[in-house]
Structure 1
């Protein structure tokens, strides 16, 4: 007996989708050749749906605590929002927009077959709106075919159930997926179907199973019947090349971030990012957006986001020589670093590291760190948690990556400034063990401090602080409390340099007052001879200033 499209069905859909993508993840990763052959589409889709499923469970838990039951609008809205904030990669970002499109229709609370038909149509249309330069033979084509099939099923039988429409959409998507190698040259040459479209077929199959109650674990066919001739799909390839996109060598970086901004600012951002790179996808609305782009200048892409609004959860991945028509190139060694701001993320990326940027209060899960390690495409990885509270999470991620054949060293960095020091001495040319020792020694030789603003009255080692007080922390302990940020910063510097030091590193936060760095540099020159100072724009929100002394 079919089930109604309600909150419970959405919850079941999330669970079945995770199971399906978990089964298909490695097979989808293996056929990922477009737009970049970086072998992570299946993993990205799994992580995107994992975030969506967590949001749905949180919505159910919240209603249970309040003694109420969630409705369809609550559940589908949570699923779309979870996918938006957790979207990974090009395909994950597109699927997040697809779910948002469905929500625009289903939020009215009508779970009928006709509502599902309209939702799938709106979902397909919204994905084309989100992609700067839509290409057929991709997940966009598969989504449109699913919507077409859903409309035919709804029109063929009056009073059709939502389960019938979902099953028709799934079958339509499967058929369209098998045609993708003939629509996109790179797929035809490789003899595979589109990886993102493959993930969407798994997602729609899970929806059909959730509504019908008949679970099918039939694997999605990922190979074309036979590789197509070299000229297959040349019209698409030639048109892309004429636009300056889709050449054999792609941009060096993938940049993804969440952005709080208005519609007008996002429209300007689209135009600017479109000029910087390709594979541009901007999804979301109502002030919250997920931005995805491939560029050579990662810093410029992040700066564009800063001009548009407030970017956070910045993730910058270096493709490391990946080409659009080849398997990902493995490097000998890479560095993955957790950083608290977009400026630090750009700094790490420029140094060749893979940054994982996070917001205060939203630490990365071990799965996110494992994904960053995978995206580094290296046989050996140095993992810099840059936060004492992340040591267990980072250790779990390192252990998981080791089971996948990656040699991972966890460098015990407890602050971003220790991470900067470790990264500065990183040398891929020496032995792995020597590099670990050098980076660990550099981090250990760097004392760290930060300035923070107290959120509430509290007891500290330096006495009682009040909400709004400026706190100076050295090695994690509060050592001075006051009201003037510059005075607290100079007091912290003097304490740290009283034990000696040759180099001071200042990392300015997003809320650091103008002129702070200049005042502190003058203070160091006047009070501490032969001590050099280097300043970085970190962009972190939790601390207006990070300090390192080597």
Structure 2
């Protein structure tokens, strides 16, 4: 039975897409040779759709209409997008959501045709250097077929079916457009995943279920993924092939790292950021809007790519990963430790810290502390001076405060002009800085060390106890002057007059999503016995969690980290 394209159908589409991508994931991974032959396109699309499904499920409680449901699906995919293909899928869904934003009730065939056209066009704009023979080509073909059916008077069901057929034909032709696919004997993995999602929409509208293997990545009733007479390459392209999403020519090995992050930034600042990132690598995709953006880049400069985001907004959910078969970031040199008698390159870590106890701890870990008072943060000149005074050709800077991100980026640029190689890790709290320091290994190559430290910091949630100076609005309500504030990731989540109760509630909330290690950093004015009682609370309520405790002597009574 044909269903209208309403909120219920969108929810069913989302569920069917997730199920279909789950079944097809391994097959899609196996044909992934472009833009990077890392065998994860199917997995990335599945994880992206999983995030979309969670958002749609959460939005369902308020009985949303089709536009609201599709917006939730698009937002969920945006914040959870993985890899090049997942990022493009998020933009396709956002394009549909934007076009259907004013639709009340069920969407018609014309609405759907326009939505698919907007989705395809916005995806092309999101990719810095679009390449044909990819999922962009498949999206454009689906839109053309849908528009032609609408023009011929077709309804919603006919329009969706036509879009699938257009996408299927375009997918079969991707090897003719992209030589790397023809050499490997496969169709485009991202396009195969997109067809899976479109066929799930077809099933949602028709009331049926997608047939196994219908996405075109398997040989069968539809165009085969593997070209006749060719042995497919799973997870690796031909020797010497360049894995780059933005340049189809084979011009040598590609960048070493994949950088992904969400960015809170004004829309007007994003074009300049896009140009800056485009000069740093390839496979650049920038999607989103209305103040929230998702960025994907392959680069040899992961630290600089994150710093570029710091200059215009607040990066978060930062993920940096090695790309397969990537060369050293410094070609022509022998990596430290791999040549006979080669010493590890001198490297320093500079950490901005709010207390002398934390500074002492940092010094013991081999880093250079820069102590900062809460009411007098270091200037750009002081930060740059500390970078130069570290006396190392390579320096990692841990600002440990969101307010210091912009000064840190400016100081890093100044130090680079003096010949120092600098990477700023966007730590938001001293406990994130401690987590980064814990995995610092100067014997590693510089970029590898930065990646490991960034990952450790990003995996650490941070909490804090503070005191309200005046009566004010918070995200937890109106607090009074003198109230104890409990903050998680910078937001007030609870307040009251009992420090132990507030701290325990902050810990319980932070550990509700899991955690293996809790770090407690006591301040200069921590209430007597508070840390001991918190450790007792952790042993009784969270017995499987390890605890470490430091005397930081910072202004805040207590800092909390959960890893």
Tell me which interval the TM-score lies in, with the shorter structure as reference length: 0.5 to 0.7
Q: 1:421 offset after TM fit, Å? A: 2.9
Equivalent residue, structure 2, for 1:153: 149
- Measure, in 1, the Cα distance between the counterparts of 2:434 and 2:195: 45
Equivalent residue, structure 1, for 2:164: 170
How is 1:33-432 mapped onto 2 (pairs within 5 angstroms)?
Answer: 33-61=33-61, 63=62, 69-109=63-103, 111-156=107-152, 158=153, 160-219=154-213, 220-222=215-217, 223-226=225-228, 247-322=251-326, 417=434, 420-422=437-439, 424=441
Q: 1:424 offset after TM fit, Å? A: 3.4
Equivalent residue, structure 1, for 2:425: none
Provide closer, same or farther for how the CA distance between residues 169 and 476 of structure 1 changes in structure 2, counting only shifts above 3 A: same
Unaligned runs of 5+ in 1: 64-68, 230-236, 324-340, 342-346, 352-358, 360-413, 429-442, 444-448, 468-473, 484-503, 508-518, 521-542
Unaligned runs of 5+ in 2: 218-224, 232-240, 328-350, 352-366, 368-393, 395-401, 403-430, 446-455, 457-461, 467-484, 487-494, 507-516, 527-548
- Measure, in 2, the Cα distance between the counterparts of 1:182 and 1:505: 62
Which structure has more helix as a fraction of its residues? 1
Q: Is the 8 A contact 1:10 1:76 kept in 2?
A: yes
Q: 1:165 offset after TM fit, Å? A: 0.6
Q: Is the 8 A contact 1:462 1:481 kept in 2?
A: no
- The alignment status of 1:10 with 2:10, answered yes or no, reads yes
How many residues matched?
370
- Measure, in 2, the Cα distance between the counterparts of 1:241 and 1:418: 33
- What TM-score, normalized by structure 1, do the two folds share? 0.60
Q: Is the 8 A contact 1:417 1:546 kept in 2?
A: no
Q: Is the 8 A contact 1:150 1:169 kept in 2?
A: yes
- Measure, in 2, the Cα distance between the counterparts of 1:505 and 1:272: 40
- Measure, in 1, the Cα distance between the counterparts of 2:270 and 2:70: 25
Q: Is the 8 A contact 2:262 2:318 kept in 1?
A: yes
Q: 1:265 offset after TM fit, Å? A: 1.2
- Measure, in 2, the Cα distance between the counterparts of 1:192 and 1:99: 26
Provide closer, same or farther for how the CA distance between residues 458 and 38 of structure 1 changes in structure 2, counting only shifts above 3 A: farther
- Measure, in 2, the Cα distance between the counterparts of 1:97 and 1:451: 36
- Measure, in 2, the Cα distance between the counterparts of 1:34 and 1:22: 20
How is 1:361-510 mapped onto 2 (pairs within 5 angstroms)?
Answer: 417=434, 420-422=437-439, 424=441, 452-453=465-466, 454-455=485-486, 456-460=495-499, 476-477=519-520, 479-480=522-523, 482=525
Q: 1:248 offset after TM fit, Å? A: 3.3
Provide closer, same or farther for how the CA distance between residues 215 and 77 of structure 1 changes in structure 2, counting only shifts above 3 A: same
Q: 1:245 offset after TM fit, Å? A: 7.1
Q: Is the 8 A contact 1:17 1:202 kept in 2?
A: yes
Across the aligned residues of Structure 1 and Structure 2, the Cα RMSD in angstroms comes to 4.2
Provide closer, same or farther for how the CA distance between residues 191 and 458 of structure 1 changes in structure 2, counting only shifts above 3 A: farther
Deviations 1:61-111 (A, max 9, x none): 2x1xxxxx2111110110011111110000000010000111111111150
- What TM-score, normalized by structure 2, do the two folds share? 0.59
Report which stretch shifted further, 179-188 or 218-227. 218-227
Provide closer, same or farther for how the CA distance between residues 506 and 16 of structure 1 changes in structure 2, counting only shifts above 3 A: farther
Q: 1:225 offset after TM fit, Å? A: 2.7
- Measure, in 2, the Cα distance between the counterparts of 1:54 and 1:20: 16
- Measure, in 2, the Cα distance between the counterparts of 1:226 and 1:306: 49
Q: 1:318 offset after TM fit, Å? A: 1.0
